[in-house]
Structure 1
Amino acid sequence: MATTTLTKAARNRQRHGLTFNPVRPAWKEPASPLYSSIKAVILGLISLSIIIPILLVVSTSLADDKQLVAAGGYVLWPTNPTFDSYKAIFSGQFMIRALGVSAFITAVGTFLALFVTVTMAYATSRPVLLGRPVLMMVLFTLLFAPGLIPMFLMVKQLGLLNTIWSLILPGTFGAFNFVVMRSFFMNIPTELIEAARIDGASDFMILRKIVLPLSKAVIAVVGLFYAVGFWNAFFNAMLYINDQTLYPVQLILRNFVVQGGSMAEQIGVTSTPPPQSMQMAVVVIALLPILIVYPFIQKHFNKGVITGAIKG
C-alpha cells in the first residue's frame, strides 16, 4: 500500500515537472519554474521598494536647484550632479563635531552594553550563579517600561543632564538582546563548562576562554543591534541635552527636517543650497556609516539569531 501511494506521489510530481528523490525530503527538492518565477517577481518588487527610496535620497542630495524645481522637489536621477550641499554642511565644524559625538556614543555605548549583556546573560544561564530571580526582573522590564518622566528624573538625580553620558548609560542594557544572548549561552554544551570547572577554571575564565569564542556570531548580531540603536537615537538628546556642541548627528537630521533653513543658519552654513538637497544630504551622511558596517556583520544574522532562538 505504501509503495502504491509512493508511486502515485511520484507520478504526480512528474506530471508537474518535479523529480522525486526518496532520499531527500520534499522541501529540499527543486521548485517548479512557475514557483521560481513568482518568487523572483516578489523579491524583485521588494528590492525595488528598498532601492528606489535610497536612490531618491542620494539623487536629490546631488541635484542642483534647477532640476529640483523642474522635478517638483525630488529627483530620481541627477543630470548635473553637484556636491554643493555636502560642501555647505561640512563648511563649519558643527557637523564634524556631531559625527564625532555620534561615533563616541556608538562605540562606548556598544562596548558597555555588550559587557553588561554578556555578563548578565552568562550569569543567568548557569543555575549555580544568579538564577531565576534576576531573570524574572529583567523580563519584567519587557512588559512594564519605566516611562518618560521617571527616566528624566533619574537622569537628573544622577547629575547626567547636559552630559554625553546621558545619551549612553540609559541604553546600556536591552532586555530583548539579553534574552537572545542568554538563549545562545544555554545551548553551549554543559560538558565543556563542567570540564573547565573541574580543571579549576573560574567563571570569568570560562566566559573568556570558552563561552565568548563560541559566541562570536550572536555577539556580532547583538552588537549591531546596540550600535544601530545608539547611532539612530535622537530623542534622549532632545530631552537631556541643551548644549549644541553635544548634539548627535541624528538630532541635527531631525532639526533639519523640522526647521529647514533656520537650522542651516544655526550650524553656520555660508552658502544656501536647496533645502530639499540639504535635508537629503544629511540623511545620506547619517545612513552611510551603518550601510558600510552592516554587510560585514549581516552574514552572522542567521547563525546568531536562529541558533540563539532555537534550543537543542
Structure 2
Amino acid sequence: MAIKSNWQTRIFQFVIIAILILLALAVLFPFLLTLSSSFASDNELLMESAVLWPQDWTLDAYRFLLDNDQFTQSFKNALVITVVGTAINMTLSVLMAYGLAQPDVKGRRLVNFMVLFTMLFHGGMIPTYLVVNELGLIDSYWAIWLVNAIIPFNMIIIRSYFQTLPKELKESARIDGCGEFKILLRIILPVSMPTLVTFTLFYTVVNWNTYFQAVLYLNDADSYPLQVFLRQVLIVNPSELGLVITKSGYMFTESVRHALILLAALPLIVVYPFMQRHFSKGMMMGSVKG
C-alpha cells in the first residue's frame, strides 16, 4: 500500500509540475515574441507581425522611441501619476485602516458599513464626472488621484491585518508615552511591512495602468500617461493622431510597437523582483490572518 501511495504521489506531482510548466510557457512565449520582435528590422516584419529570432538585430525601434517627445512625455506623466498616486493611496489607506482597527473608536461600525457599501454600489461614471468637474479638477492629475484615493477592498484587508496584531504592542507603547501617530509609525508599520509592500505593489499596478480615467478627466494630450499613448499607437491609426512626426521619416512600425509594449511593461518587471520577498510573505499573511 505504501508503494502504491508513493507512486500516486509522484504521478500527482508530475502532473502538477507539467501543468505549471505549460502555464509558464504560455505566459513567457508572448513576452519573448514581443522582446525579439522589438529588435527585428522593419523589412523582416513586413511579412510577419512578429518573429521569435530576428535575422538582423537592431536598436532602431528603441532609438526612435527614446527620441520621440510624445513617448518621453507620456512616460514621465505615467511616472508622476504612479509615484504620487501610490503615495496618496497608501497614506490614506493606512491611516483609515488603522483608525477603523481600533475597537474604541466611536462610529467605527458606521464607517465600516459605508466602506462596504461603496464596494456593492457605485455612484457611476456620470455623477463622478460631475463632482470632479464641480471641484475644478478637470485637466488635473488630482482628478485621477482623488477618485481612486482609497480602494475599499485593499483598505479592508489592511485593517483586518492591523486587528490581528497583538494588543500588547500598542499598550506597552502607550505606557512609554507614545501617541497614536508614533505608535503607527514606529511600531505598527515596521511589523506590517510585508502587507504594506504587497498593497503598495497593487496600487502601483493600478496607477501605472491608468487609462480610462485619464481619457475621461484629461483633455490636454500633453498630460496623457503612457497607457493612453500606447493605445493610440496600437489601435488608432497613428497618422491620424500626428504621431508619425520624424525627421528621418521613421514611423510607428511593427518593431516600434513591440518595443513600446515592452517599455510600457518594463518598470513593473524591474520593480517586482525587489518586492517579491515581501509580496509573497504579505500574501500569506493576508490569506491566513486577513
Same fold flag (TM > 0.5): yes
Residues in 2 aligned to 1:156 and 1:48: alpha-carbon distance in whole angstroms? 46
Q: Which letter does structure 2 place at the counterpart of 1:252?
A: F
Residues in 1 aligned to 2:205 and 2:270: alpha-carbon distance in whole angstroms? 12
Q: CA deviation at 1:111?
A: 0.7
Alignment RMSD: 1.9
Residues in 2 aligned to 1:104 and 1:244: alpha-carbon distance in whole angstroms? 15
Match of 1:90 among 55, 66, 71: 66
2:99 alignment partner in structure 1:
123
2:49 alignment partner in structure 1:
73
For the 8 Å contact 2:232–2:238, the answer to whether it is kept is no
| Structure 1 position 306 matched with structure 2 position 284 | yes
Q: CA deviation at 1:264?
A: 7.0
Structure 1 residues 154-173: aligned runs within 5 Å: 154-173=131-150
Structure 1 residues 217-232: aligned runs within 5 Å: 217-232=194-209
Q: Which letter does structure 2 place at the counterpart of 1:100?
A: K
Q: CA deviation at 1:45?
A: 0.3
Task: Please give the secondary structure, in 1, of the residue aligned with 2:46.
Answer: helix
Distance 1:200 1:37, change over 3 A: same
Q: Which letter does structure 2 place at the counterpart of 1:107?
A: V
Q: Which letter does structure 1 place at the counterpart of 2:126?
A: I
Residues in 2 aligned to 1:233 and 1:190: alpha-carbon distance in whole angstroms? 39
Select between 294-303 and 113-122 the one with higher mean Cα deviation.
Answer: 294-303
Residues in 2 aligned to 1:184 and 1:301: alpha-carbon distance in whole angstroms? 15
Residues in 1 aligned to 2:206 and 2:224: alpha-carbon distance in whole angstroms? 16
Deviations 1:41-97 (A, max 9, x none): 111101100100101111222211222123x21212212121222222222322111
For the 8 Å contact 1:65–1:273, the answer to whether it is kept is no
Q: CA deviation at 1:263?
A: 6.1
Distance 1:62 1:206, change over 3 A: same
2:275 alignment partner in structure 1:
297
Q: Which ranges in structure 1 are unaligned for 5 or more consecutive residues?
A: 1-11, 19-30
Match of 2:85 among 99, 109, 113: 109
1:4 alignment partner in structure 2:
none
Task: Please give the secondary structure, in 1, of the residue aligned with 2:177.
Answer: coil
Q: Which letter does structure 2 place at the counterpart of 1:277?
A: S
Select between 273-282 and 221-230 the one with higher mean Cα deviation.
Answer: 273-282
Residues in 2 aligned to 1:177 and 1:216: alpha-carbon distance in whole angstroms? 15
Select between 268-277 and 233-242 the one with higher mean Cα deviation.
Answer: 268-277
| Structure 1 position 17 matched with structure 2 position 6 | yes
Structure 1 residues 1-312: aligned runs within 5 Å: 12-17=1-6, 32-70=9-47, 72-130=48-106, 131-262=108-239, 265-266=242-243, 268-270=245-247, 271-273=249-251, 275-311=253-289
What number of residue pairs does the alignment pair up?
Answer: 288
TM-score with structure 2 length normalisation? 0.93
